[in-house]
Structure 1
Amino acid sequence: MKVIRSIAELRNALKEERAARPGLAVGFVPTMGYLHEGHASLLKAARQSCDTVVLSIFVNPLQFGPGEDYETYPRDEQRDLAVAEAEGADYAFLPSVAEMYPSPTKTKVTVGQVTERLCGASRPGHFDGVATVVTKLLNIVQPDRAFFGMKDAQQVAVIQQMTLDLNLPVEIVPCPTLREADGLARSSRNVYLSEEERKQAVVLYEALSLARSLAEADRQMTAEELKRHIEAKISSAPLARIDYAEVLAYPSLEPVGKLAEAGRVIVALAVKFGRTRLIDNMILE
């Protein structure tokens, strides 16, 4: 595995490899590091379907708002590189902030509508930062396929819409959420949880599982009724503070009435435990 920190060096390395191997399929896994089994599953998926795999690790300041955890976001470069190499990454791209943003950014990528609810509503500007950095990374790597975890399903919807609208020549591959044995979605931010917060955080998966059971039992239930059941379940955990719990059409993220008339819906959650904000979701067909 080659560790590369400059845009020019990565572009040159991939240019040489493409020239030497016509028809080369490049897979790309963009991350903010502090890799866990969820990230490893993305690398596995990329390894299985692509000839060359590029992993990026970059904690992107543009997607953090004032008072959020940019400075304290967990980082462990050596451990990340060991995980990446074990999972078969060919290139690990670790640019600095100065490399990615050598001067104040005057251009940003904004995706409308799908960014207006859920995390887009509670974290203004977040998805502008995501869309901008992902566009930059896709332009740098120029992959055939890019792999994203469905734990952040709104992010997947935003990036799919962006690549469609801008005719970016890349296939976005959504990958399933990986969970702990008790159902908690794997996340770099789980490390922030105290022992009691970690114990109570499983209520997110319990709420999603309840939503699925209720929806399967009564397709005439409305999204609003299902939402009330979900909120009641989450509120049974004393430390849980609900940021949002929503039932929306997916991937449009538009409001829905009766579930039976909605087709594919997402049950999406953001809940705080102490200083830690966790997101999770489940797609209901």
Structure 2
Amino acid sequence: MQTAHTLDVLRTQVAKLREGGDTVGLVPTMGALHEGHLTLVRRAREACDHVVASIFVNPTQFGPNEDLDAYPRQLEVDAAMLEAEGCALLWAPNAAEMYPDGFATNITVTGVSEGLCGASRPGHFDGVATVVCKLFHQALPDMAFFGEKDFQQLAVIRAMARDLDLTRPHVHSIIGVPTVREADGLAMSSRNRYLSDTDRTAAATLPRAMKEAIARIEDGQEPAPTLNAFEDELLGAGFDSIDYASLVDSSSLAPISALTGSAARLIVAARIGGTRLIDNMAVSA
């Protein structure tokens, strides 16, 4: 596996990978890799001739009181994991390479970015859209792979690609990969390592309670009281607060008060022991 730290080297290496018409799949990450990330790499290897993974802890998607400085960084360990999975090229720029002096451009995707995490993390999705657009232009992948755990992020990236007429990757080549979970159902996340043993045990309540709430909604119970009871269960299990627990349309992410026949999603963000956990699951109409 080759590693590029500068844009010139990245472009040279990507051009070599493309020789003979080979295809390239991109897996953008912020490092601190786990099985969820490696699943994305495997999916990319199945679909493309070569895989390029990026590791960049993007400062523009962190708020002033968020965990940028504490976010885990383990480049050598991550690189070894990627190489073991057959990744061809690692793109690992620093902040100065990604945002050179005088950088003054910001991408805002309205609509799908405005509620849910967008409401509780102002500016977060501007940072996501901007850095992912740059990654797409830097690596020019045929396909890109993202975990569905960050369902709103995936919607923002697809909207950005559609609105800006990106062709590498085309919006339909931005692939959402189902959430990878721990044995007890908790969605894998780099932030899970922040949890104490007690909080980690309590965190397993989240996916279990989500499944139970979804089953009740699918059985015809009213969503609003069902979600109120869901939030009470999380707080009773040891969660400190719930940013949101919303039943939304899967395409627009607009909140819905009842199942309408269109695809729906239960999307949740909750805090426990200072760690913010997000999750989402499909709801059948």
Q: TM-score, normalised by structure 1?
A: 0.95
Q: Is the Cα–Cα contact under 8 Å of residues 223 and 248 in structure 1 kept in the other structure?
A: no
Secondary structure of 2:137's counterpart equals helix
Tell me whether 240-249 or 60-69 shows the greater mean CA deviation. Answer: 240-249
Structure 1, unmatched stretches of 5+, are none
Residue 91, structure 1, aligned to residue 93, structure 2? no
Q: Is the Cα–Cα contact under 8 Å of residues 131 and 162 in structure 1 kept in the other structure?
A: yes
* Deviation >4 Å, runs of 4+: none
Q: Tell me how far apart the structure 2 counterparts of residues 38 and 27 of structure 1 sit (CA, whole Å).
A: 16
Q: What pairs up with 1:189-204 in 2 under 5 angstroms?
A: 189-204=191-206
Q: Tell me how far apart the structure 2 counterparts of residues 183 and 82 of structure 1 sit (CA, whole Å).
A: 27
Tell me whether 41-50 or 222-231 shows the greater mean CA deviation. Answer: 222-231
Q: Where does residue 206 of structure 1 map in the other structure?
A: 208
Q: Tell me how far apart the structure 1 counterparts of residues 209 and 261 of structure 2 sit (CA, whole Å).
A: 20
Secondary structure of 1:42's counterpart equals helix
Q: Tell me how far apart the structure 2 counterparts of residues 195 and 17 of structure 1 sit (CA, whole Å).
A: 44
Q: What pairs up with 1:159-238 in 2 under 5 angstroms?
A: 159-169=157-167, 170=169, 171-218=173-220, 221-238=221-238
Q: Tell me how far apart the structure 1 counterparts of residues 33 and 102 of structure 2 sit (CA, whole Å).
A: 29
Q: Is the Cα–Cα contact under 8 Å of residues 28 and 145 in structure 1 kept in the other structure?
A: yes
Deviation at 1:210, TM superposition (A): 1.0
Q: Tell me how far apart the structure 2 counterparts of residues 192 and 211 of structure 1 sit (CA, whole Å).
A: 27
Secondary structure of 2:150's counterpart equals helix
Q: Is the Cα–Cα contact under 8 Å of residues 248 and 267 in structure 1 kept in the other structure?
A: yes
Q: Where does residue 264 of structure 1 map in the other structure?
A: 263
Q: What pairs up with 1:41-52 in 2 under 5 angstroms?
A: 41-52=39-50
Secondary structure of 1:245's counterpart equals strand
Deviation at 1:262, TM superposition (A): 5.0
Deviation string 1:205-262 (CA, Å, 9 cap, x unpaired) is 01211122112211xx443233223212212212432111111111201121221x15
C-alpha RMSD of matched pairs (Å): 1.2
Q: Tell me how far apart the structure 1 counterparts of residues 10 and 223 of structure 2 sit (CA, whole Å).
A: 47
Q: Where does residue 273 of structure 2 map in the other structure?
A: 274
Q: Where does residue 123 of structure 2 map in the other structure?
A: 125
The letter of the residue matching 2:213 is A
The percentage of aligned residue pairs carrying the same residue is 47
Q: Is the Cα–Cα contact under 8 Å of residues 250 and 263 in structure 2 kept in the other structure?
A: yes
Q: Is the Cα–Cα contact under 8 Å of residues 109 and 159 in structure 2 kept in the other structure?
A: yes
Q: Tell me how far apart the structure 2 counterparts of residues 188 and 257 of structure 1 sit (CA, whole Å).
A: 32
Q: Is the Cα–Cα contact under 8 Å of residues 179 and 187 in structure 2 kept in the other structure?
A: yes
Deviation at 1:7, TM superposition (A): 0.9
The letter of the residue matching 1:277 is R
Q: TM-score, normalised by structure 2?
A: 0.95
Q: Where does residue 39 of structure 1 map in the other structure?
A: 37
Q: Tell me how far apart the structure 2 counterparts of residues 158 and 283 of structure 1 sit (CA, whole Å).
A: 18
Deviation string 1:79-124 (CA, Å, 9 cap, x unpaired) is 1011101111000110000110111431111000101111000000
Q: Tell me how far apart the structure 2 counterparts of residues 173 and 109 of structure 1 sit (CA, whole Å).
A: 21
Aligned pair count?
280
Structure 2, unmatched stretches of 5+, are none
